[in-house]
Structure 1
Amino acid sequence: MSERDRRETDLYTVVYDDDIDAVVFYWDEYSTGERFKSGAMDLLEYIKEHDARKLIVNTRGIKAHNEEETKWLQEEWMPKIFEAGIEHSVTVHRDSVISEMDMEEFYEGMEDVDDESAMTDDMDEAREWIAEK
């Protein structure tokens, strides 16, 4: 992975991966409330700074969000990343049936969004998918 502009906090790591021309964001620690929203908004600013069109969000290290945070992601945050220019996104979830079901339910709530999204439990698969876009 050829990366530039790596940023790390105790909550997340974000890099721009030149090999796949995408922002790659890793949630390193589970968080909720304002701390979670602050990390998500930091990602939005990073997307804008890099004029990014592709995004991978790796959530393997965290648990599911509560209903309020899920609604915030769907109704407020996700529309903003698409307005910022994201056209293709992949979410990498935990390797479990429950995580997969949670992600499917999350994306069902995003049917009005006009982007191309995918989900997987395999980071290599996510990188391959986004590289083809």
Structure 2
Amino acid sequence: MSVETLRDEDTHTIEYDDELNALIHTWNTFSSGETFREGANELLSVFTERDVSKLIIDTTEVKAHDEEDKQWLQEVWLPNMIDVGLAASVNVHRESVIAEMDMQETVDPLEDEPFENFMTDDMDEAREWLAEQ
């Protein structure tokens, strides 16, 4: 497995995994509002540049998302990601019922979107699932 770091910011890290042919976006700390949107849009930009279709988003350092950020993800960011080729994504959340519920609230309204999504609290499981997509 070879992983290349593409961006390394205080709030997030973006890596390319050549074995999965996927990006891995790790939130290093809680972010919201403009800071959150800047990090997410940077991922959109890198995703477009790399011409990949798979993504792991690691939110193990995030307890919950703000409601405005969830709405923005659902209405703006995710449709843009799908438009540029997102076919499969995994959300890795912290091992907590609250974190899992927060992620579920974020992705439930998107179940009719044309991409596959999986949620887990285990990075190995995330990698295995994405490798099969």
TM-score w.r.t. structure 2 length? Answer: 0.96
Asked if the contact 2:24/2:56 (under 8 Å) is kept, the reply is: yes
The 8 Å contact of residues 63 and 98 in structure 2, kept in 1 or not, is answered as: no
- Aligned position for 2:120: 120
Q: What residue in structure 2 maps to residue 87 of structure 1?
A: 87
The amino acid across from 1:67 in the alignment is: E
Q: Which residue of 2 aligns with 1:60?
A: 60
Q: Show structure 1 runs of 4+ deviating over 2 A.
A: none
Aligned residues: 133
TM-score by length of 1: 0.96
Could you tell which deviates more after superposition, 101-110 or 89-98?
Answer: 101-110
Q: CA contact under 8 A between 2:22 and 2:56: conserved in structure 1?
A: yes
SS at match of 2:110: coil
2:75 alignment partner in structure 1 = 75
> CA–CA distance in 2 between the matches of 1:52 and 1:13?
17
Q: Aligned Cα RMSD in Å?
A: 1.0
| Aligned twin of 1:37 | 37
State the alpha-carbon separation in 2 of the partners of residues 22 and 71 from structure 1. Answer: 25
- Residue type matched to 2:84 in 1? A
Deviation of 1:5 (Å): 4.7
Distance of 1:108 and 1:31 partners within structure 2: 21
1:109 alignment partner, SS class: helix
Between the aligned partners of 1:60 and 1:5, the Cα distance in structure 2 is 19
Following TM superposition, by how much is the alpha carbon of 1:6 offset from its aligned partner in structure 2, in angstroms? 2.6
Q: What is the CA deviation profile of residues 97-133 of structure 1, one whole-angstrom value per residue up to 9, with x for unaligned ones?
A: 1111112221111133111110000001001100111
1:28 Cα deviation from its structure 2 partner: 0.5
Counterpart CA distance in 2 for 1:68 and 1:125 is: 30
Equivalent residues of 2:6, 2:14 under 8 A apart: yes
Q: For residue 19 of structure 1, what is the aligned residue in structure 2? A: 19
Which blocks of at least 5 consecutive residues in structure 1 are unaligned?
Answer: none
Unaligned stretches of 5+ in structure 2?
A: none
| Identity %, equivalent residues | 49
The amino acid that maps onto 2:48 is: K
